[in-house]
């Protein structure tokens, strides 16, 4: 990891919403609509946060039709990236906000993602 990559990671982790989004992805791949629903942010704000995480290589993304999905990077990610994610997980394992996010995410995952995305597009 060079200084530029290090600074991108620290910038990405310097925002509570981005850290919470990163930790939500420990549950698995999520659509932007699901992340937007989880945090109650505007879709544009959610996308901006995810873009910063992506540029820092803390998340991967894929597009499927009109939907974009995000996930934690796989084993091919740089070791420093994987270590940063593990550090965040370990440091916040007992944080009550993260527990609340996890409980809320379970409810969101039970919803039909297509209907969730359509509803958000109408709003």
Give 92's DSSP letter: T
Q: Which of 38-42, 72-76, 105-109 has the lowest mean pLDDT?
A: 72-76
Spell out the residues 6+ positions from residue 89 whose beta carbon is closer than 8 angstroms to its own. Answer: 23, 26
Give the distance, in angstroms, between the CA of residue 27 and the centroid of all CA atoms in the same chain: 10
Residue whose pair of structure tokens reads 């919403």 in the numeric block:
17
Report the C-alpha gap between 48 and 13 in whole angstroms.
14
The yes-or-no verdict on residue 79 having pLDDT over 90 is: no
Percentage of residues of the chain with pLDDT beyond 70: 99
So where are the chain's domains? 3-118
**Number of residues in the chain:** 123
Q: Decide which of 80 and 105 is more confident.
A: 105
Q: What is the CATH number of domain 3-118?
A: 1.10.10.10
Which tens digit of pLDDT belongs to each residue from 8-52? 899 999 999 999 999 999 999 999 999 999 999 998 999 999 999
Return the exposure string of 35-44: e unless at least 16 CB atoms fall within 10 Å of the residue's CB, then b.
bbbbbebeee
């Amino acid at each position: 990891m060079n200084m530029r990559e290090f600074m991108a990671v620290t910038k990405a982790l310097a925002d509570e919403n981005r850290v919470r989004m990163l930790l939500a992805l420990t549950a698995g791949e999520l659509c932007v609509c699901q992340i937007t629903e989880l945090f109650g942010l505007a879709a544009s704000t959610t996308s901006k946060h995810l873009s910063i995480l992506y540029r820092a290589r803390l998340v991967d993304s894929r597009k499927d039709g009109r939907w974009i999905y995000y996930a934690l990077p796989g084993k091919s990610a740089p070791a420093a990236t994987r270590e940063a994610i593990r550090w965040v997980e370990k440091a916040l394992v007992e944080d009550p906000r993260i527990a609340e996010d996890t409980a809320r995410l379970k409810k969101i995952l039970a919803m039909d993602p297509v209907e969730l995305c359509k509803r958000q597009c109408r709003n």
